[in-house]
Structure 1
Amino acid sequence: MHAALAPSSPLDAASLAPERPFSLPPLREELALLDGPAAYDGAPTWSLHDPVRNQFYRIDWPTFEVLARWHLGNPARIVEAIEAETTLSLSEEDVEVVIRFLAEHQLVRPLGEAGTARLVQQEKARHSTLWQWLLHHYLFFRIPLLRPDRWLVRQLPRVEMFYSRTFLYITLAALTLGLFQVARQWDHFAATLVDTFSWRGALGYGVALTLVKVLHEFGHAFTARRLGCRVPTMGVAFLVMWPVAYTDVNEAWRLTRRQDRLAVGAAGILTELAIAAWATLAWTLLPDGTLRGTVFMLATTTWVATLAINASPFMRFDGYFLLSDFLDFPNLHPRSFALARWDLRERLFALGEPIPECLPPARQRGLILFAYGVWLYRLTLFVGIALLVYHYFFKALGILLFAVEIGWFVILPIWREIGEWKRRWPQIKTSRGSRGKLWLLAVLAFIFVVPWNLQVSSQGLMRSARHYPLFAPGPATIAAMPVKPGQAVPAGQVLMKLDAVDAEYRQRLANARVSRLAWQAEVSGLDENLRARQPITVEELEAARAELAGANDELQRYTVTAPFPGVLADLSPDLRVGESVGRQQQLGVFIDPTAWVVETYLTDAEVERIAVGAGGRFLPETPGLPALALKVASIDRDATRALPDAMLAAGHGGEVLVRERNNQLIPERAVYRVVLAVEEAAPAQARVLRGSVVIYGRPKSLAGDFLRSGAALAIREAGW
């Protein structure tokens, strides 16, 4: 742990006033002041070591000069001495900053009752209730298991070979050869990767990941001990209840060379990369079998874990500390966050507040952009973790942890920043640069909160209110087509005559049988044999007459007539006299051109916003056709089980998501059929038109949509 001090940091001097006006609290005797590396601007730095808690604090040149004259016992005398003996120019407020830092981190001995009370208060603040501890630590907590320092010292000679240039060159050669061989066997490599996507493969990856992470931590430990740093503990940490190894290498802050600290921070990643290189080469050389499968999991797990997790600077893993050491910028996250919050407030409100740290412009811009990237990454990560804990635990606890995760890591930081805006409200409302942005924010809030959207939009089909599809009852030949498409005809008018050879043949057979049985019944009195079977003959005659009636009815169906006054529409252009047609082949559609309706399908939330009699508009997809006024005629009370018209299905250019089952289109979510009457004359060329439907219903807001969706999701997932 480390902290950087800035002389311009704010201080509540009254809360830290010593008991005696001209006496500073004495420093703890066990503290050690160590030389540190030069800062990025060339200024010297030092590390203040607290051996009790094994924590290090980075201090700058002004702070060092204050501590070097601490024995003077008075801020004014310290300032006078610094100005007389150095080129620095400090104030008493700068000395009070150092006093506050030392007191907050318990680096001074308490004086009197006030000092003791302050320590007690700090200790109480550190200890939380059980539920607070669980809230803060269920995602990450550590359990120390080993004190490996002596063992590491004994084993150093055995691992010295891994730090040689020879091992480095051999590993680079193995990596090059392994990648070359994988490229030649890429199809087999990809197929093996797919084959491991199973429960057994997941178990193997878990074992491989555990082994790699243990070696990763030993890489940190051996490197730190090799450079003279003590390694007090090693153990296991739980990250979202997943165990991972950890090593305490805080003493790397003793190292004065930045290259040495980078070596300690990069040791884990380099260890994993070496394992990945040798495992990749081993996979290309070994025959198929258990050993080859093991090194495959070791190689793939190591590459992914190193590049996707450890190398990322967005979380406090190796990549973060490497970047912090490379930039020589301790406390990279909190300091960059402070800069980004200042930048956000200045861009929004132009308050003219002093910048938290004075840095070169390029570094300042880079840190601000880095902070925004970290926020975006953590927003995505915390939402993902929230979903993970929801699905990982049982339903009730999962919902609770999901709410805690989103509330604590997403909503609470935003709420705190809004609180800072509220505290600065007197300056914000008088700032000339913020007025336009406040108006823009008010407009956006108005759009988000006020229910201004009156429209319910969907997709629908316009067709005649009365339409009658014409089908061929069976195989036939067109004998006559007396009506032309679009011609108005009365009810009962013949639209089309079909010659059905099979139906006519069955009619003739039935007619002949009726004639034969009728003759037998008439002459049965003249013949003894016929008279004996007369009852049977009468029954057969009745059956034959029924068969003849059915044949006549069937043949009558081949004469297609108008069921109501209307026009013949959508006649196939291939139909002509003498053309053969098949069974159930559609010949055309007979419609009533005087009344039109539009059918659409809405979700339950959309149906709740409309009522019978509500107005609307229909906008045909066909270019050049006018929009038509609508009025809601009926709303189905039950959800549609199967979509009757494929033109509205997503696979046919429609908007209703469906899945096909048993030759039916089943909607993916509940939709309700709504029928709207067309209030004005339809275009002459209208038959069946697809288009957009707009219904004027009850208003809604965007905020209401979010709240309803969230409430519906919570109710559905909770099983209420």
Structure 2
Amino acid sequence: MSGPALPAAGPAAAPLTALREDLRFHPGAPTGDGAPTWLVYDPPAHRYFEIDATGLALLQAWRAGLTPAELAERAGRALGRTVAEAEVAAFRAFAEQNGLAAHPGGWAAQAAQLAAGRTGWASWLLHNYLFIRIPLVRPQAFLVRTLPHARRLASRRSLAAIGLAGLLGLMLASRQWDAFTSTFLHFLSVEGLGGYLAALAFVKVLHELGHAYAAVHRGCRVSTMGVAFMVLVPVLYTDTTDAWRLRDRRQRTLIDAAGILVELGVALLATLAWSFLPEGSLRSIAFFLATAGWAMSLAVNLNPLMRFDGYYLACDALGISNLQPRAFALARWRLREWLFDLGDPCPEAWSAGRRRAVLAYGFAVWLYRLVLFTGIAVMVYAMTFKLLGLLLFAVEIGWFVVAPIGREAAFWWRNRTRIDPAGRLRVTGGALALLLVLLVIPVYGRVEIPAIAEPGRSARLTAAAPGRIEAVEVGAGASVAAGQVLLRLASPRLDHEIAVARTKLALIEFRRDRRAADALDRSASLVLDREFASQRETLAGLERRRGELVIRAAFDGTIAELEPDLQPGRWVGRGAELGTLASNGPRQVRGLVGEDGLRRLRAGAAGTFVPDDLTAPSLPVTLASVSRAASATVEIPYLASHLGGPVSVREEKGVGPVPVEAQYTAILEPPSEGLRLSESPAVVRGVVTVAGTPESLAGRAVRRIVAVLVRESGF
């Protein structure tokens, strides 16, 4: 589907050429305001152009050899009003640029002009690699033949049955929600990934068939179905251009929504099937069909900012065909009037409410496209080898971001004589100057350092050997002294080994005592002495191990953490962590600072540690030191992203989590009467805001860009 654009007019006084004889005209659907429209159909290109009453009058009055003034006069008589020359010039440019009017030199000259305008395959690929459409089948005959079966599936009884099945499935899934959400883990296997891709292809085929059958049901022709590549990712498409000739916009809306409705129906049935299928690939595929139907339909297909189903639903719901180009034209006009007050007429006669809605949509799409195309450029760069990635990145940013801005700037320059220096230009220039000043003045002085506040000394309470808890002498938050007993554990096996060792020691001692009366023991006197010393050492070691089962405080402090289910009689394994002992007194604050903030820090700078826990108090700190070398790994695990921290890391085999960007360890000292243990948990994560050397926003941005370019410049 396509509609008229309004480019700049061509030569105003040249006589008209004839309209093409193969063009067809149909009544169109009324606009959202109720105004009638008409369609111009171009059969060879299979395109529809929607025109209003003025366009229809101009086409009806169009004759070869007429001048634009004569055409305006004839169309004005038919409309009962004066037709401006600008309207005629704009409509003539539209007709000629879209090939509706014959070329003055005949069909041969027109073919030569088209051939001259064609680009080579390399240039075409460079500008169209983000979206390449490949038609695969002409499904009209198949769709007509199988339409009765599709109608039965879409009957009221079938839809009611699918709805009831979906409600039952949702009810059953909600009763085993944990099992439902954990089904995704099956996709981590090769078998699960294959099922995932097969299910995705299946549901997308059904989605496109939904559009196709809905169009054929309304008497429209589906010319082609095929595959399109969006950023090298294959997606299916269905050509329902013929739906433009439907005069009832509700029928168009049903065609637009048919794919989403099919996906939701599949999701409902798959949710019910998941509740009854056994564990395995089939259940995982049902899970994907269920979740993909909801997520893809609601999050992607219904997005009106992209040219997916949601966009066409918005067009037909609002009664505004070609919503995006018309919104862009209105947004450009509004922007120019805000900046320069040119006094140009509004591109279209909208009502106040509709104008505000279309204007908001246009600006929203601009912002969305800026973020989207920038993200696509980064993704394309990451998906290819570096040289090609840089080329495609430059093409993407240049073609979709820089070029539109350049065209708008060129329009401003061409119309500079129309701008009143004493009018709106003063306000615009003043605002730009103020913005420039804000960008270059060094006002950005804060440095934010992800950090933790922890006790100056802490120790984990662990079981030295497997044992049974005999007694818990303290509780969490209790203050203890060095050497105080905290927990008592017992090990029956160790007690047995000690009893055996004592028995052996007593036996050896008995043999040593009777050496004078026993010739055999007397001859083995040296051996007995060695065995006695060895056995006594073994017993002492066992006694020490039993002593280690009595866990004592290594220093004065507070029990910061204690396992809640430590009860007498519970067994714990060797190395089991039972709690944490933390020293009293002010906290120690450590953080990680990136290269971006490192150069703006100075020793002795004052700052504030703000905990993530809003109930914990802030802590004034002073920067004591920063490491000279970047950390090879994350020295403060609490700050790593894989543990929920703010520092981005990547896993490297044999090394562990490695910072994505260079990080330097900063030590910050709190005051002598700083935050104490009783006021918060053992380790508190937060952010330290330190006063640093001021820097301008522009300088900061330039330095970041240069750093990225330097980092990515190696091949």
Q: TM-score, normalised by structure 2?
A: 0.67
8 Å Cα contact 1:72-1:78 kept in structure 2: no
Question: Which amino acid counterpart does residue 9 of structure 2 have in structure 1?
Answer: D
- TM-fit CA distance, 1:359: 0.3
Is the 2:448–2:688 Cα contact (8 Å) retained in structure 1? no
1:184 to 148, 164, 175: 175
CA distance in 1, matches of 2:138, 2:154: 23
Query: Are residues 1:709 and 2:704 paired?
Result: yes
Partner SS for 2:101? coil
In the alignment, which of 414, 417, 436 is matched to residue 408 of structure 2? Answer: 417
Instruction: Quote the residue 2:304 is aligned against.
Output: 313
The one of 303, 312, 319 aligned to 2:294: 303
Tell me how far 1:638 sits from its aligned partner: 4.8
Residue 103 of structure 1: which of 48, 73, 96 is its match? 96
In 2, the alpha carbon distance for the partners of 1:220 and 1:586 equals: 69
Alignment equivalent of 2:664, drawn from 652, 656, 671: 671
Residues 387 and 194 of structure 1: is their aligned pair in 2 closer, same or farther, counting only changes over 3 Å?
A: farther
1:333 aligns with 2:330: no
- Is 1:445 the counterpart of 2:436? The answer is yes
Question: What displacement does 1:47 show?
Answer: 0.7
Residues 111-141 of structure 1: per-residue CA shift (max 9 Å, x gap): 238x96676445433x224443222221110
Contact 2:54 2:79 in 1 (8 A): no
Judged with a 3 Å threshold, the aligned counterparts in structure 2 of structure 1 residues 77 and 708 are, in CA distance, closer, same or farther, namely closer
Cα distance change of structure 1 residues 144 and 350 upon mapping to structure 2, 3 Å threshold? same
Is the counterpart of residue 390 in structure 1 residue 387 in structure 2?
Answer: no
2:219 aligned with 1:224: no
Question: How far 1:435 sits from its partner (Å)?
Answer: 2.3
CA drift of 1:72 comes to 7.7
User: Where do residues 418-567 of structure 1 align in structure 2 (5 Å cutoff)?
Assistant: 418-428=409-419, 430=421, 432-449=423-440
1:124 aligns with 2:116: yes
Among candidates 79, 83, 87, match of residue 90 of structure 1: 83
Distance 1:330 1:66 in 2: 20
| Alignment of 1:12 onto 2:5 | no
* Distance (whole Å) between structure 1 residues aligned to residue 82 and residue 658 of structure 2: 79
Task: Give the direction of change, closer, same or farther, for the CA distance of 1:687–1:50 in structure 2 (3 Å limit).
Answer: closer
Q: Gaps spanning 5+ residues in structure 1: where?
A: 461-468, 470-570, 575-584, 590-598, 660-664, 677-682
Query: Residue 34 of structure 1 is aligned with which of 26, 32, 37?
Result: 26
Amino acid of the structure 2 residue aligned with 1:392: M
**1:58 CA displacement:** 0.5
Paired with 1:116 and 1:321, the residues of 2 have a C-alpha distance of 37
The answer to whether structure 1 residue 214 and structure 2 residue 205 are counterparts is yes
Residues 492-513 of structure 1, C-alpha deviations (whole Å, 9 max, x = no match): xxxxxxxxxxxxxxxxxxxxxx
Instruction: Give 2:358's aligned residue.
Output: 367
Q: Contact 1:451–1:702 (CA<8 Å) still a contact in 2?
A: yes
Letter in 2 for 1:306: S
| Per-residue Cα deviation, 1:543-600 (whole angstroms, up to 9, x for no partner) | xxxxxxxxxxxxxxxxxxxxxxxxxxxx9999xxxxxxxxxx99999xxxxxxxxx99
Give aligned pairs, total. Answer: 565
Alignment equivalent of 1:68, drawn from 49, 60, 77? 60
Match of 2:94, as an amino acid? F
Structure-1 separation of matches of 2:621 and 2:284: 66
Q: 1:46 is aligned with what amino acid?
A: W
Q: 1:320-359 to 2 correspondence within 5 Å?
A: 320-359=311-350
Q: Secondary structure at the match of 1:352?
A: coil
Partner of 1:112: 105
- Compare CA radii of gyration and give the structure with the larger one: 1
> Are residues 269 and 572 of structure 1, via their aligned partners in 2, closer, same or farther at CA, if it must alter by over 3 Å?
closer
- Alpha-carbon distance in structure 2 between the residues aligned to 1:626 and 1:154: 78
Aligned AA (2:95)? L
Shift of 1:436: 3.4
CA contact (8 A) 1:208 1:301 kept: no
Distance 1:152 1:317, change over 3 A: same
Decide whether aligned partners of structure 1 residues 82 and 293 sit closer, same or farther in structure 2, where only a CA change above 3 A counts: same
Contact persistence 2:191–2:281 (CA under 8 A): no
* Alignment correspondent of 1:279: 270
Paired residue for 1:267, among 258, 264, 281? 258
Q: TM-score, normalised by structure 1?
A: 0.67
Q: What residue number does 2:42 align with?
A: 50
Asked if the contact 2:57–2:78 (Cα under 8 Å) also holds between the matched residues in 1, the reply is no
Deviation at 1:695, TM superposition (A): 6.4
Q: Give RMSD over aligned pairs.
A: 4.8
**Deviation of 1:650 (Å):** 10
Shift of 1:312: 1.2
What's the secondary structure of 2:145's corresponding residue?
A: helix
- Could you tell me whether the CA contact under 8 Å between 1:618 and 1:691 is conserved in 2? no
Residue 702 of structure 2 aligns with an amino acid whose one-letter code is L
Q: How many Å apart are 1:365 and its aligned residue?
A: 0.5
Q: Which runs of 5+ in 2 are unaligned?
A: 452-456, 458-554, 559-581, 611-616, 650-656, 677-686
Residue of structure 1 in register with 2:513 after alignment: none
Contact 2:186 2:281 in 1 (8 A): no
Shift of 1:50: 0.5
- Given that 1:457 and 1:695 are in contact with CA atoms closer than 8 Å, whether structure 2 keeps it comes out as no
Q: Is the 8 A contact 2:630 2:662 kept in 1?
A: no
Q: Conserved in 2, the CA contact under 8 Å of 1:48 and 1:59? A: yes
Q: Cα gap change, 1:236/1:635 in structure 2, threshold over 3 Å: closer, same or farther?
A: closer
Residue 366 of structure 1: how far off its partner (Å): 0.7
Conserved in 2, the CA contact under 8 Å of 1:47 and 1:254?
yes
Q: Deviations over 1:122-167 (max 9, x none)?
A: 5433x22444322222111011111222222222233221232222
Q: Distance in 2 between matches of 1:658 and 1:38?
A: 54
Letter aligned with residue 51 of structure 2: I
Q: Would the alpha carbon gap of residues 64 and 202 (structure 1) be closer, same or farther in structure 2, given more than 3 Å must change?
A: same
Q: Provide the C-alpha distance between the structure 1 equivalents of 2:700 and 2:142, rounded to a whole number of angstroms.
A: 62
Q: Is the 8 A contact 2:76 2:82 kept in 1?
A: yes
Q: Percent identity?
A: 41
Q: Tell me, in whole angstroms, the C-alpha distance in 2 between the residues paired with 1:605 and 1:82.
A: 66
Instruction: Select between 116-125 and 242-251 the one with higher mean Cα deviation.
Output: 116-125
* 1:62 CA drift (Å): 1.6
Deviations 1:385-408 (A, max 9, x none): 223223322333334333433333
Instruction: Report deviation, 1:658.
Output: 11
Which amino acid in 2 is paired with 1:186? W
How far apart, CA to CA, are the structure 2 residues paired with 1:657 and 1:176?
Answer: 43
Residue 171 of structure 1 deviates from its aligned partner by 2.1
